[in-house]
A and B are shown apart, each in its own frame.
Chain A
Amino acid sequence: MNTIYYLVQNMLPVSIPLLLVALGGMFTERSGVINIGLEGTMLTGAFAGALFAYTIQGSGLSPNMILLICMIVAAVAGAIFAQLLSFAAVTMKANQVIVGTAMNMMMPALILLISKMFFNSDGITTNVRYFIREVPVLSGIPVIGDLFFKNTYLTVLIGFLILIISTLVLYKTKFGLRLRACGEHPHAADSVGINVSKMRYIGVTISGILGGLGGYFYSVGITDGNINGHNGVAGFGFLALAVMIFGQWQPIKIMFAALFFAFLRTLAYSIPLIPFLANLNIPTDYYKMMPYVATIIVLALTSKNSRAPKAEGIPFDKAQR
């Protein structure tokens, strides 16, 4: 039982960045723009958040207060960075995959450059301890308290809140309906007076916000509030894309997909702690490969009835019929 508690407690902080970034990817793709640049967006958020945390860490604020403030900084930074994509993809009608690739190349270089120039290191190291050992009162609940309210981070709670909000926005608001229309059939949307370019700008901006948040939550939950330009976010932006496809562009399914990947990854890093698996003596590298192998297998199984937004990746051209 302790092993299960341990796995769940460790899995949740890992799943949150994947969940948020995949939701961000979902919003852009639902509006009709492919965002390969999520990795870069995550790095932007992680870097901006960590940088701000670094500057205010001495001011006596509690770690969770710092988290809330830096969260906003990260979201704003991500949103600004995402405008690189929206400008190129919507206004200039450029190839979205190329732009995304450029964004992914830009951020690690920028982070390394800034940190080497101003911090003499490869990244930013903060000493804020975001870790929450026990949530008062709630951790007393049997089973559930152990699973969700011990050895955790505030990010988990915020992540699930954003999931609920995203689901409501996408399915229960006029905006969500319009956004989805722009990804499925922009010309139909255009014909009833929806401003497709504007919706796509908003879609990309949301992905910037969520991508930035996800990146910062990655640094909080996985690398102890630090970030460096060499390892970056370890391909989580790309994994999030796979999570999004596995989740069939639907928020709740994306959550399950994110949990699945987080579980595999946590398992890979906690083999020595699980007697049964440790006794098998399989090199841990096999387990590290597992999330990626699983992605390919899962995509192979689900791609036949893929529900990708029909107009994704195609620049909107009013004159086209």
Chain B
Amino acid sequence: MQDKNGMNSKTNEKKKFSEIKGFSSFTSALMAIVIGLLFGFIVMLLANPNNAVAGFRYVLLGGLGRFGDVLYFATPILMTGLSVAFAFKMGLFNIGASGQYTMGMFFALYVAFMFNLPPSIHWIVAILAGMIGGMLWGFIPGIFKSLLNVNEVITSIMTNYIGMYLVDMLIRSNEAMYIPSMTRTKYIPQHVQIRSLGIAGSNVNFGVIFAILIAIVLYIILQKTTFGYELKATGYNKYAAEYAGMNGKRNIILTMVIAGALSGLGGAFAILAPSEIIGSSMTYEPINVIAVNGFNGIAVALLGNSHPIGTIFSALFISYIQRGGTLASLVGYKPEIIDLVISVIIYFSAFAAIMSSALGRFITRRNKKEKIVSNTQSVGNIEADINNKEAEK
């Protein structure tokens, strides 16, 4: 409806409209964040009024002193966030990021333990293996969606569980990588770990740089390539895109495979991260629990408005308040409060976009009315006005 208005009005108004649209997606995210944080503050007040202010200060500012950790914990959720966001652009809801992430972890672990490669390339191969694992797990919902028209939400939820059970089983049965007495995998050899960035007091590594670069590449793919254009066109209107000769079926599979690859890379970055403590590393615990980072990725993507660059910032933001939430436990609050805040943010971001686009529409209409008064009425303006009135109804 908005696009119709934009197309019908004159070019200068079109420009103004696009300004407001960009503005509104930012304000809507901001609006949702403010509401979510306020909600968190109220919960803190209810739980323990005496420490609420101190706790809330930790949530808001606690991340500042731990910037390395913010980057470190942002890496996996940035990748799963990109995965969900990329599929969203096509109109697909990739709720299966968890399964793809877990598969990515397993493939990376497998290469790390079972392959004998020169140290200089071993870690690269492990990362790529993680990507392939994710691709494989993204391919399943993709092919079921495109060939058999099975809803991707259900298949990807199922692949989450299948992936989790499968990986747990494979790891438990593999003596080379699993220590039964500690219910976790062995430490990964030093040379397979991703190089640390060397920030004291945190495990932050080159993974975060790779992740940001990947986000930028995705942005370019979406904005500058035919494939990206087809993807977005299919997301806006499937039938129109098909009528224009775009191969919807192929694009669905491709999108899900790429989304899977992104989540898989996230898993690889997470499991191959170095540890501050010499001789240790990240480990995987096969305890039949679905990877949380996949679901956090959904939050990241939604908050970032499914835009690759926006996703970078939302991943940093969520990681930031999560660090703050961990610190809030110093004054007796539970870190779960942050999950609650994030879910409230997501809830409101679902219709904050609608609220602020209504706001945007209101502003455009007022601008137009002013023009009508000052200028002699042009045909384009009248048309736009009629359209607006129709939209109002």
Contact = CB atoms under 8 A, between A and B. Distances in A.
Contacts of A295: 154, 158
A181 to B, nearest CB: 22
Interface stretch (A47-55, A184-192, A205-213, A285-293): A285-293
Interface in B127-181: 140, 144, 148-151, 153-155, 157-159, 161-162, 165-166, 168-169, 173
A118 to B, nearest CB: 9
Contacts of A102: 343-344, 346-347, 350
B339 A303 contact: no
Nearest to A244: B154
B340 interface: yes
A299 B347 CA distance: 29
Contact of A285 (B159, B169, B302): B169
A318 B43 CA distance: 38
Given A88-B350, A292-B158, A101 B144 contact: no
Most chain A CB atoms below 10 A, which of B290, B299, B339? B339
Given A113-B334, A283-B173, A242 B339 contact: no
Contacts of B391: 319
B144 A109 contact: no
A318 B165 CA distance: 46
A108 to B, nearest CB: 7
Interface stretch (A16-24, A92-100, A124-132, A157-165): A92-100
A150 B290 CA distance: 35
Contact of B334 (A112, A283, A303): A112
A6 B349 CA distance: 48
B337 interface: yes
Interface string A71-93: 00000000000001000100011
Interface in A227-250: 229-230, 235, 238, 241-242, 245
Contacts of B166: 285, 289
A132 to B, nearest CB: 29
A113 B336 contact: yes
Given A117-B334, A288-B165, A101 B95 contact: yes
B216 to A, nearest CB: 25
Contacts of B20: none
B154 A299 contact: yes
A97 B88 CA distance: 11
A172 interface: no
Interface string A284-321: 01101100110110011001101000000000001100
Interface string B283-302: 00000011000010011001
A223 to B, nearest CB: 15
A84 B347 contact: yes
B342 interface: yes
Contacts of B298: 101
B23 interface: no
B302 A113 contact: no
Interface in B262-320: 289-290, 295, 298-299, 302
A103 interface: yes
A242 B158 contact: yes
Contacts of B168: 285
A110 B337 CA distance: 8
B155 A299 contact: yes
A106 B344 contact: yes
Contact of B347 (A103, A117, A288, A304): A103
B40 to A, nearest CB: 11
Given A283-B173, A289-B162, A116 B150 contact: no
Nearest to A283: B169
A312 B159 CA distance: 24
Interface string B239-276: 00000000000000000000000000000000000000
Contact of A95 (B148, B154, B344, B350): B350
A241 B154 contact: yes
Contact of A113 (B159, B337, B347): B337
A109 B150 contact: no
Contacts of B140: 296
A282 B341 CA distance: 43
A105 interface: yes
Contact of B343 (A109, A112, A285): A109
Interface string A235-267: 100100110010000000000000000000000
A68 to B, nearest CB: 31
Given A102-B344, A105-B342, A283-B169, A300 B158 contact: no
Nearest to B355: A92
B107 interface: no
B165 A296 contact: no
Contacts of A238: 154, 157
B370 interface: no
A117 to B, nearest CB: 6
B392 to A, nearest CB: 8
Given A295-B158, A296-B144, A99 B165 contact: no
A36 interface: yes
Contacts of A110: 336, 340
Nearest to B334: A116
Nearest to A294: B158
B339 A108 contact: yes
B295 A105 contact: yes
Contacts of B148: 300, 303-304
Most chain B CB atoms below 10 A, which of A36, A93, A289, A304? A289
Contacts of A299: 144, 150-151, 154-155
A238 B95 CA distance: 11
B354 interface: yes
A129 B28 CA distance: 49
A200 B158 CA distance: 28
B350 A109 contact: no
Contact of A94 (B144, B159, B342, B354): B354
B153 A97 contact: yes
Given A98-B346, A116-B334, A283-B173, A92 B289 contact: no
14 contacts: A92-B354, A95-B350, A98-B349, A99-B347, A101-B95, A102-B343, A105-B342, A106-B343, A109-B340, A110-B336, A116-B334, A241-B157, A292-B158, A292-B165
Closest 10 CB pairs of A and B: A109-B339, A94-B351, A285-B169, A102-B347, A105-B343, A92-B351, A106-B343, A102-B346, A98-B350, A94-B350
Given A98-B346, A296-B140, 7 more contacts: A92-B351, A92-B354, A101-B346, A102-B343, A112-B339, A292-B161, A296-B158
